[in-house]
Structure 1
């Protein structure tokens, strides 16, 4: 994990430094014409932007090891505070979408496998393949148009009602603004889990011990509950935890469509405005987030599958 973080941070740092965005101009904003070259040099010196690239990277890395992720050029706050505030909103969104996509996708995969080669199976496969090729931002716009503009059931965007004080915002208001972004992420994330679960269950149902169980008179849900569930739940959990990278990437686009105040919106703003400390902090945090999901998947595999523990003991 340490080598992965160093490599990703270094590559991201080089990409940011070679981007066409001028961080000083992005920092000054609309007052660029009123700022002279001497003031620009002072700003560059203050942020360390006049140093060589490797010196800037090592300075940032040294501060990071000391627990300082730097100060955001946009929000004028420590990067750790910006990420902490935005992560509270994003984690609720991602966790809700992650649970619903996993449960719905797993259920659809089971039903499709049990009804193999029927119209139900073909309809679900067509639906999942269509979702797998659907961009997240397009699905978000479609959900926004249908449920917020045409039907008017939900707010158009933001994380809370506009023009309402923070102390007056209720939990119901927050849930109303959460539903559409979570729905978008859930719909997009269903396809892979459903298709993988369907194929795995079909392989299990074609095995010899399933044929023996059927010969003993076991059919339908009883057959699935006794012999099929335990063989497909572990791969489904592994796939679901390994999808943290897709979940985070989808959240970036979804939050931008719905103007949801999470890490995704902060990532886009940091990239467009050349906020190097914040963008590097977000890259570092997202890498640890994805790595943590893969690690949890490996631990669950070893916990639920006795064969993994036996192989390790040998």
Structure 2
């Protein structure tokens, strides 16, 4: 994990440094720069790191990370970890609910499609998954936004809390209400891959010898699937579920922009467009840690589900 994080940090820092965005023109403006004295421009260039070699900036940044210092956000003028914690408090409702929704619904649809293989239910679920797999998340977000906030004003048009309400007055119901449409968008786009992989695995299980023997004993239907197939389905399900963390986080970048949801995704876009390298690198590193932690959690759960892995580990 340490080597992977180091590689992610290096590649991300090089890509950000190659960006053609001029931080002075983006954040100050060409007109304002034209009216400034050379001394003021030099101070701004020093603040944004213009002219400093890439290797020196990377070394300063990585040495600070090793000491637990993620730096100061150039846009927010606050510690990077403080900004990330604030944005993550809004995104946690969105990402967690979308992750659970896509996993539960995707697994159920995959099992249903395999159980009704070749019938109208299977064709309907498979068609939905194929269409959603090729649908951009931001386009689906725009459709839901127009449908449920403009045509049918059921949900708020954006933000994570009601406008004008004090922070101590915001309830859990308010946060869930504002996060419903963004979470629904992420959940709907994440269902397709889980459902299709689950369908193929269940079909493989239903064609196995032990299921054929169970059919010969008179077992059938959902009882057959849940009694003999569910345990064998858990390993690929765990892999898909924890592997979808990166997809959901990546999709949240565009979805939060559409819904003006002030979370980590929108902060990443703001940092990228504003050349806020410390904040952007901090979000990149934290998201990489979450993905790696999800994969590690999946490996740990394997040993709880499959006793053969525990025996192999002791051997």
TM category, shorter: over 0.9
Q: Which residue of 1 aligns with 2:61?
A: 60
Q: Which residue of 2 aligns with 1:267?
A: 268
Structure 1 residue 252 corresponds to structure 2 residue 253: yes
- Post-superposition CA distance 1:87-115 (Å, at most 9, x none): 11112111001101111011101111111
Q: Deviations over 1:109-134 (max 9, x none)?
A: 11111111101101110001111111
Distance in 1 (CA, whole Å) between partners of 2:5 and 2:37 is 38
After TM superposition, the structure 1 stretch with the greater mean CA deviation from structure 2, 213-222 or 42-51, is 42-51
Question: Deviations along 1:49-106, whole A, 9 cap, x unmatched?
Answer: 4422111111111111111101111111000000011111112111001101111011
Deviation string for 1:260-309 (max 9, x for gaps)?
01000000000001101111111111111111111111111122111212
Q: How many residues align?
A: 314
Deviations 1:128-163 (A, max 9, x none): 111111111011001111111111100011111222
Per-residue CA deviations over 1:148-187 (Å, capped at 9, x if unaligned) read: 1111100011111222332333333222211100110110
Cα deviations by residue, 1:231-250 (Å, 9 ceiling, x for unpaired): 11221121110111101101
- 1:290-301 equivalences in 2 (<5 Å): 290-301=291-302
Aligned-partner Cα distance in 1 for 2:90–2:159: 11
Higher mean alpha-carbon deviation, 208-217 vs 34-43, is at: 34-43
1:201 corresponds in structure 2 to 202
Q: Take 2:196 and 2:300, find their aligned partners in 1: how far apart are those partners?
A: 24
Deviation at 1:46, TM superposition (A): 4.0
Is the Cα contact below 8 Å between 1:237 and 1:297 reproduced in 2?
A: yes
User: For 1:118 and 1:274, how far apart are their aligned partners in 2?
Assistant: 53
Show the counterpart of 2:32: 31
1:72 is aligned to 2:91: no
Task: Quote the Cα distance in structure 2 between the aligned partners of 1:16 and 1:148.
Answer: 36
Match of 1:4 in 2: 4
For residues 49 and 94 of structure 1, the distance between their equivalents in structure 2, rounded to whole angstroms, comes to 35
In the superposition, the TM-score normalised over structure 2's length comes to 0.96
SS class of match (1:97): helix
Please report the TM-score for the alignment, with normalisation by the length of structure 1: 0.96
Mapped to 2, the partners of 1:64 and 1:212 lie a distance apart of: 58
Aligned residue in 1 for 2:180 = 179
What corresponds to 1:123 in structure 2?
124
Which residue does 2:144 correspond to in 1?
Answer: 143
What's the offset of the Cα at 1:36?
Answer: 3.0
SS in 2 for 1:173: helix
2:234/2:305 contact within 8 Å kept: no
Q: Unpaired runs of 5+ in structure 2? A: none
**In structure 1, what is the Cα distance between the partners aligned to 2:221 and 2:105?**
20
1:238–1:301: 8 Å Cα contact kept in structure 2?
no
What root-mean-square deviation, in Å, do the aligned CA atoms of Structure 1 and Structure 2 show? 1.4
Give the Cα–Cα distance (whole angstroms) in 1 for the partners of residues 198 and 158 of structure 2.
34
Aligned to 2:171: 170
Q: Structure 1: 5+ residue runs without aligned partners?
A: none
Q: How does 1:277-296 map to 2 (within 5 A)?
A: 277-296=278-297
Cα distance, 1:47 vs structure 2: 4.9
